[in-house]
Amino acid sequence: MYLTGRCGGNTNHFPSERVCQKVCLPPERRKLACSVEPKLGPCHSRPRNTWYFNFATALCTRILTVNCSVGANSFPSCEACTKSCTNANTREACSRAVPNPEDFLPKTPK
């Protein structure tokens, strides 16, 4: 997905994932992932890393949680998140990725 203002020199710029997919994909292949809120559900007893795309910052963000990611905006690695949601170089983007400070502590399943 190319975000407005992220690439210069071409017309492959879209204000949202939804508009990008409407222009570039047939209806049966459209699936929003990067612009939806991540959803978590209980399932793990030990913390694990999950990555999601933060549309407000245009960065992939790590969550350390005991919850399972159940939504489309959930990725097993920074690289997978970056490839799916940005046009950035994964090595460069993931070297700058920082965890979400509010999610250092494991959340207890409900």
Task: Give pLDDT tens digits for 62-97.
Answer: 887 766 666 788 888 999 988 888 878 888 888 877
Q: What is the mean pLDDT of the chain?
A: 73
HEC assignment per residue over the chain: CCECCCCCCCCCCECCHHHHHHHHCCHHHCCCCCCCCCCEEECCCCCEEEEEEECCCCEEEEEEECEEECCCCCECCHHHHHHHHCCCCHHHHHHHCCECHHHCCCCCCC
Choices 1.10.10.60, 3.20.20.10, 3.30.43.10, 4.10.410.10: CATH for 32-103? 4.10.410.10
What are the structural domain ranges in the chain?
Answer: 32-103
**What is the reported pLDDT for 104?**
47
Task: Give pLDDT tens digits for 12-69.
Answer: 677 777 777 788 878 887 777 887 887 766 666 677 778 888 888 888 988 877 666 6
